[in-house]
Amino acid sequence: MEEAKEIKTDIITAGAIPDIRQIDDTLVLFFIDSANKKVTVVFNDVIAFKWEGFQNKIEGEIKDCCYEINNSEWIDLHKNLNTELELDQHKHYKFNFSSHGHFEILASYYLIRTSE
């Protein structure tokens, strides 16, 4: 069963509207959080990503923030679809943006940068 584990960050995703850009296997999220910080999240070694305009909560999700999804069915799906992919280092991340929707991604790691 999938379970969401909150990722402790100092960014606030609630109410933000992200700009999503992809360059090769790198994806970048840009948004201004509710504390007026400019946020850049860079994901590397991206296998898949999706934006959904509604909240589809997984067990363990209680608020708008960032999560790592453990026991990800989405990762399992990609492992079954393409057995040549090296997915041992990839994780399923989910960023909730209130009523705007949520962003999910399979990537090996990410880096968050903020500025005033």
Neighbouring CB atoms inside 10 A of 79's CB total 16
Q: What is the pLDDT of residue 83?
A: 65
Inter-CA distances, 64 with 23, 24, 26, 32, 116, Å: 27, 28, 24, 15, 21
Expressed as residue numbers, the domain containing 102 is 3-115
Q: What's the burial of 106, exposed, middle or buried (CB within 10 Å: 0-12/13-18/19+)?
A: buried
Token pair listed for 111: 């880096």
pTM: 0.90
Q: Are 74 and 7 in contact (CB under 8 A)?
A: no
The 8-class DSSP code of residue 99 comes to G
What percent of the chain lies above the pLDDT cut of 90? 59
Inter-CA distances, 115 with 14, 30, 41, 47, 110, Å: 18, 12, 12, 28, 17
Task: Write out the H or E segment, with its range, that includes residue 73.
Answer: helix 73-81
Mean pLDDT across the stretch 23-42? 93
Q: What is the pLDDT of residue 50?
A: 95
Q: Provide the domain count of the chain.
A: 1
Question: What pLDDT digit, counting tens, does each position of 34-83 carry?
Answer: 889 999 999 999 999 999 987 677 877 877 889 999 999 999 998 888 76
